[in-house]
Structure 1
Amino acid sequence: MGNSIPHTTTVGGSGCRTSSKLGQIGCPIKTDNMAEKSWQVMHMNVMKGITTAQSNEHQRNWTERGWDFALEKGRYDRQRERLNFEVVKGGKIQEIDKRQSIPERMAESLLQRGIKDPNEGLAEPKYRTVVDFILSGSQNTIRQLAFGDQDVVYEPGNNLENATLKRMPEIEQWAKDMYWFMSERFGEENIVGCYVHLDELSPHMHLTLLPIQDGKFAFKKMFAGKDKLEFSARTKKLHDELAEVNRKWNLKRGRNISETGAKHRTTEEYRRHLSEECTNIEEQVVQHKKALSDLKVEISLAERRVKGLTSMVDNLRKAKAEKESQLSALERTLQSHQGDTATIIAERERLEKELASIQIKLEDKQDKLRTADQQLEALKRDMDAIGERTEELKGEAYKYSREIHSNVDVLLKDVMLETLVGEHSERVAEMGAAEQSVFDGSLLQSLTEQGAEVMHCATLLFLGMVNDATTFAETHGGGGSKSNLKWGKDDDEDNRAWARRCMMMASRMMRPASGKKQKR
């Protein structure tokens, strides 16, 4: 399970226009306008593992159906996917090897080194075992490294115009520099994946490593330090050292976030980070639902076992009472000197043996019943805990959404209030005393019934994440929009008009599928 800790350190800036020309490999990029600066970019995502879904995105290990989905909704270019590459041990450049996922590589590395994954066997991973770096630079500069002066179509899709594109050797050398920079600081043996993507808007590298030192996972020792101040100092130093390597590629160290108070994050980087966080939360919720389903089966079996053992214990107690009654009767007969004494004694011995056997069985079943009761209680506690954690995750998703979308939320809420006032006034003027149904299908009704969901869906639409908005709507009770019309911001459309359209579209998308109604 890949629980991502949303701590990201960033140095970079928006893309700048420059007519840069590359010299030989390893030489600085010379620009015609040196007043324009190009920034290096480094994100550090700390995670409690990495999922197969995240690995598939890094490796582009998708089925044809997956690619169709990505091309329809994502930010990828199928024609440039062949230019992606990975850096492997020894700094060797090769095509991406998709035969083994990153989680499988991680497991193999740990097995060979005799190191145990501390999250293995835990219902909820809690140890930071993976650090995923995203390395890049200002858009124009990093594109120049990747494609030189070739004409490139950067729109998402399957752009046949890019079929003859060639990968420049400069991007490979830059990737090697990044690989060796990380290897020297954190150990080459700890790198389990290093992929360079040239099929998105901005070329970038995903470098995934395990924070292992002296044969043990040691994230705090390697990265965090004793407190936030030490972590901040280490991170600043890492950016400074990276800037020395990036100097020859004309990628400079940006001012620190704590100094500028700003996040130097491009739209593409922001979109990728948001998508990864949403994906992580959704994957955790799905896994928790699967765990809850499995627990229900286990609880059902445990309850049947408890019921069966309870019946056995009751039957054995009855048999014990019956044998004890027979022994008492024999004792009375023996004491009254009635019947054959030898026969009575033999019968008494037989009953005593049977009683002893019953007692052993009874004690065994009682022990098993106590164990079964404890297991059942433990399963129920697990179910309660996972259920609570699932609700917490949903809360975290909303909290994360509110925090990371704060600027968009302000605009959307402003438009929402404006729209509500106008729409409410119009509807009130039309309705009689008993005509409350006039609100059916209105934005006011949608916000009244599903305010948080409509706002979240509208936020995703505003950011251009149509695929994520559709998935969110369909997994939160909405029927989605069946319109085939092009969706997107018009060139001459201002942000307020675009926000208003996003709110109206989100309201339609969050309506239940035909034939179903929201409960009021």
Structure 2
Amino acid sequence: MANAKQVLDVRVTKGMTTAQSNEHQRRWTEKGWGRALEIGNYDPTRERLNFEVVTGGKVRPVDKSRSIPERMAAILDQRGIKDPNEGLAEPKYRTVVNFIFGGSRKRMQELAFGSQQVDFEKGADNTGVVRKKEIEQWAKDVYAFVSGRYGEQNIAAFIVHLDELNPHVHCTLLPIKEDRFAYKEIFAGKDKYEYSERMKQLHTDFFAEVNTKWGMSRGRSVSETGARHLTTEEYRRMLSEECTTIEENIARHQRALSAIQADIRLAERRVKGLATMVGNLEKSKAEKQAELSAAERDLTANKGDAAELEVWVRTLEKELQGISEQLADKQEKLQTADRQLADLKENMSAIGQRTEELKAEAYQYSRDIHSKVDTLLKDVLLESVVGEYLNLSARMKPSERQLFDGSLVQSIAEQGTQVMHCATMLFLGMIDDATTFAQTHGGGAGGNDLKWGRDEDEDNRAWALRCMRMASRMMRPAIGKKPKR
């Protein structure tokens, strides 16, 4: 368990589709299961082990009688809260927060199945596998964490999946505070920096309150630990794992996009075919109604043989009824196909958006890594230069050593920390503080013959170099004084 880490992922959406709900609840038909098995690693023989946690932290089988959107609607109706997206042509408000809770695969499998032999290959038969109490207690702890933090009344679904490769929780939360949707107030904060800090704190609190007792570590990120505090091997492994995760996420989302695009093409053909059928049936119905009206007028006006007309009217009525039934059936199927197509397009939009976010994260991550490596290399370079100077200086003749008197290299080598501190204050415009610091640390505070102040067209690098040189000069001892060692 030493390497077991917790997983906490947050996805915010403007609602939940029926397709998403069906996936969480496994409300699939036989055909739906077939499609799921084609694109995902699900085990139908372990689906019976899935469960959900409900009010009061009770564990029960997954309730499939109502979809999650129906559950959310019932919660809002019961509390008299209006969905702000209701009636809008395009949803614009973030009304659903989807959490995924879990951990490292091996640890989660231990909690779920203990020491049982489970075959995780596709098509395996695991009908003899039973669910362990540990996974239920862990899930109840997570449920208590979410309830305490965001309100139990706001949890629309808390479903635990044990039929996939890595056991995990899907928690559907309504971001409601004081009977109103308040996503920004609860989660986002005033800007992306506050959001980032809140998410980091959420990870920390989740570890402290739940996973520390379940043998999982919080995990560390480059931004929080700084790569220089890791060994070279740890750093290399961490970078490899993080980059692989980002790349795998992008690849998985792209595969999902391809699959959805194929489904959309099929759905569009189905909608087009049904629309054509509906159009033809409506035309046939109109024609048949016109024939029936004409026959009824002839019958009323005693035109032609009355017995034949009556037979013809009954025939037309029967044919019209058959067309109407076909039309109603095709119209219902067209409505269903339209909804399915809309759900697919919504899913494609959401996955496409997340894919672009992941690409942006990968790009930013790459930039951050290069920046940190650049800083690390500069630190190593500076330390190496100073070390080599000190070694060489010790072997130099006095006349040779005088060549470096007053140089920046000598100042950094002999008073590196003080020079850097003084230069930092100069760079920030804290002239008086820099002068006081230099004087109280044995420096003569430089002289007044050096032009000081930043030029209007001076870039950061040039300004930083002048600050370093000035700090070096300020830290030199006054004439007649010996430098502090």
Structure-2-length-normalised TM-score: 0.51
Aligned 8 A contact 1:115 1:215 in 2: yes
SS at match of 1:229: helix
Greater RCO (Cα-Cα under 8 Å, separation 6 or more): 1
Q: Secondary structure in 2 aligned to 1:196?
A: strand
Is 1:78 matched with 2:57?
no
SS in 1 for 2:74: helix
The residue that corresponds to 1:173 in the other structure is: 137
Q: Retained in 2: the 8 A contact 1:45–1:133? A: yes
Secondary structure of 1:217's partner?
Answer: coil
Structure 2 equivalent of residue 141 of structure 1: 107
How far did 1:121 drift?
1.1
Q: Does the aligned pair in 2 maintain the 1:285–1:393 contact within 8 Å?
A: no
The equivalent of 2:175 in structure 1 is 211
> Are 2:7 and 2:101, in contact at CA under 8 Å, matched by a contact in 1?
yes
Q: Paired residue for 2:404? A: none
**Is 1:40 equivalent to 2:6 in the alignment?**
yes
Of 220, 238, 245, the residue aligned with 2:202 is 238
1:275/1:180 Cα in 2 relative to 1: closer, same or farther (>3 Å)?
farther
Equivalent in 262, 265, 274 of residue 253 of structure 2:
274
1:96 and 1:270 map into 2 onto residues whose CA distance is: 28
> Which of 79, 90, 97 matches 1:113?
79
**Equivalence for 1:61:** 27
SS at structure 2 position matched to 1:249: coil
Post-superposition Cα deviations, 1:301-321, rounded to whole Å, max 9, x if no partner, equal xxxxxxxxxxxxxxxxxxxxx
Which residue does the alignment assign to 2:218?
253
> What amino acid sits opposite 1:120 in the alignment?
E
Which structure features the higher share of helix residues?
2
Per-residue Cα deviation, 1:277-334 (whole angstroms, up to 9, x for no partner): 7499869989x989x99xx99xx9xxxxxxxxxxxxxxxxxxxxxxxxxxxxxxxxxx
Please tell me whether residue 96 in structure 1 is matched to residue 62 in structure 2.
yes
Residue 123 of structure 1, CA deviation: 1.1
- Aligned-partner SS, 2:93: coil
Residue 165 of structure 2 aligns with an amino acid whose one-letter code is L
Q: Is the 8 A contact 1:88 1:194 kept in 2?
A: yes
Q: Residues 179-218 of structure 1 correspond to what in structure 2 (within 5 A)?
A: 179-218=143-182
Moved over 2 A (4+): 68-74, 256-286, 392-407
TM-score relative to the length of structure 1: 0.48
Partners of 1:395 and 1:181 in 2: CA distance: 28
Letter in 2 for 1:131: V
Q: How many residues align?
A: 278
Distance 1:136 1:271, change over 3 A: farther
Residues 157-180 of structure 1: CA deviation (Å, up to 9, x unaligned) = 2x22x1110100000000000001
How much has 1:97 moved relative to structure 2? 0.5
**Alpha-carbon distance in 2 for matches of 1:239, 1:64:** 38
Task: Give 3-state SS (helix, strand or coil) of 1:216's partner.
Answer: coil
Question: How far apart in 1 are the matches of 2:108 and 2:190?
Answer: 36
Contact 2:22 2:28 in 1 (8 A): yes
- 1:470-509 map, 5 Å: none
Question: Please, what is the CA RMSD of the aligned residues?
Answer: 4.0
The CA distance in 2 between the partners of 1:280 and 1:108, in whole Å, is 33
Residue pair 1:113, 1:215 contacting (<8 A) in 2 also: yes
Structure-2 change in CA distance of 1:118 and 1:132 (3 Å): same
Gapped runs of 5+ residues in structure 1?
A: 1-30, 301-385, 408-520
Question: Structure 1 170/396 Cα, relative in aligned 2: closer, same or farther at 3 Å?
Answer: closer
Residue number in structure 1 paired with 2:338: none
Unaligned segments of structure 2, at least 5 residues:
228-237, 280-341, 364-485
User: Alignment identity in percent?
Assistant: 51
Q: Which amino acid counterpart does residue 250 of structure 1 have in structure 2?
A: G
CA distance in 2, matches of 1:250, 1:395: 33
Whether contact under 8 Å (2:246, 2:362) holds in the other structure is no
Q: Is the 8 A contact 2:257 2:352 kept in 1?
A: no
Larger Rg: 2
Distance across 1 between alignment mates of 2:111 and 2:197: 30
